[in-house]
Each structure stands twice: as structure tokens, then as C-alpha cells.
Structure 1
């Protein structure tokens, strides 16, 4: 996403930017936005292609930040915005299939807590 486009978004939608929201709120906001269009959510394979594309953009930014320099005139990108693009597509995928990401994220955190309880060295308090 170009710098000019990011600036345009911030100027055009300043009231829509919030500091925090729950996953449930994010899912509701995405659903409200998508639901206003006749086309609705993209089919699963198209969403998967979009997800892969967005993850590729994350990889490009990480590469620019940690190794390969951008070409002259090439936008180095904004890692936070690229990660948010990934989150948007993930939310679209979850919403389309009726998945409560907040509940599933709690389940995955518990899975890691149990599975990895003895895997890593804990910090001293």
C-alpha cells in the first residue's frame, strides 16, 4: 500500500480510527461494512488468495526492514498496516463461516498454555 494511499485513508476516514477494539467488535464492524454491498463476502478460495497476497506484502516489508533495501522510489511499506490487512481478510474468512474469532483465540491461547507449559525457560520474577 503506497504512502499516498495511507495518507488518503487517514484524511478521508479520521473518525473511523479507534485505538482499541475487541475481536468481536472488529468482526461486527467488518460485517457491517461488507453487508452494505450486494456482493457480500468473497468465496473461500478468493479470500484464501487475498490472504496469501497480503502475507506476501508483510514478507516484503519485513524483508525491507531486515535485509534487502527497497529499490529507489519503492515504498518500504508499513508493517502495522500490512498486518491489519491480513487481519481484515482473516476476519472476512471467519465472518463468512460464522466463526467467533474471540472464542477461538481464547481456545488457541489455552492450547499453547498447556502444550508449551514446560517447553520454554520462564523468566525470573
Structure 2
């Protein structure tokens, strides 16, 4: 049914909506979505801490990956956007335009290093 990869944002939003729309309960309320989002960020933080931090996994803990947790976070993000009728492509474009303008001179450009060495 959804075998083609990669998905564009509209396809991801539709796939999530197709799944959620099967159920009478539908999308959670915005407050519940935010709580769910926070839970997923916490799970991602835990995995990052296990891989890169000072807190190794206990032998009894199930194996998760950062990739899995990012996928869960993406699902919740898409669900949240869908529940509020937000087009993530448009939201992303606005965010990137803002960041590209605001942060264009914030860090050292790689091409600046090349020019300095010439």
C-alpha cells in the first residue's frame, strides 16, 4: 500500500491521517498531543544519553535506537500538525526562510576557510 520511499511531507501527512481516521477517537486534543510530544522527546533524550552520554543501558532495558525514537517523534509531530490542519511543508518553508535569514552570518562558512587559504 505505502511501499514507495522516500515520502514527501504531504504523503506522510496523508498516511498518518489515513491511519488515524480509521478510529472513532480520532486525533488527541492539542494538550494531549503536546504531552505525547514531550514523552517522545524524553524517550529520544534517553536513547541519546545511552549512546553518547554517561548512562549506559541496563541489561533489562529493551533495545531502541535513536532512529526509532526520531521516527516516533515524527509520527507525533505529523499527528499534531494534522489535528490542527497545519501543512508541514508550509510550516517548514516558513521556518527555514526565517532561519536562513536570521542565521546566515551566525557561524563560520566552510567556503570562507577555502578563501582564507588561497
Q: TM-score, normalised by structure 1?
A: 0.82
Pair 1:63–1:76, CA change in 2 (3 A): farther
Which aligned pairs between 1:96-111 and structure 2 lie closer than 5 A?
96-111=83-98
Deviation per residue, 1:36-66 (Å, 9 max, x gap):
1111101111111111111110001000001
Deviation per residue, 1:75-123 (Å, 9 max, x gap):
2421111011111111111101110001110111111110011111111
Gaps of 5+ in 2: none
Structure 1 or 2, whichever has the larger Rg, is 2
Is the Cα–Cα contact under 8 Å of residues 61 and 76 in structure 1 kept in the other structure?
A: no
Residues in 2 aligned to 1:17 and 1:99: alpha-carbon distance in whole angstroms: 25
Deviation per residue, 1:16-54 (Å, 9 max, x gap):
565311111100100011111111101111111111111
Number of residue-to-residue matches in the alignment: 111
Residues in 1 aligned to 2:52 and 2:96: alpha-carbon distance in whole angstroms: 29
Residues in 1 aligned to 2:48 and 2:37: alpha-carbon distance in whole angstroms: 17
Gaps of 5+ in 1: 1-14
Off by >6 Å, runs of 4+ in structure 1: none
Is the Cα–Cα contact under 8 Å of residues 54 and 82 in structure 1 kept in the other structure?
A: yes
Q: TM-score, normalised by structure 2?
A: 0.87
Which aligned pairs between 1:1-40 and structure 2 lie closer than 5 A?
16=2, 18-40=4-26
Is the Cα–Cα contact under 8 Å of residues 62 and 79 in structure 1 kept in the other structure?
A: yes
Question: Could you say what secondary structure the match of 2:85 adopts?
Answer: coil
CA RMSD of aligned residues (A): 1.5
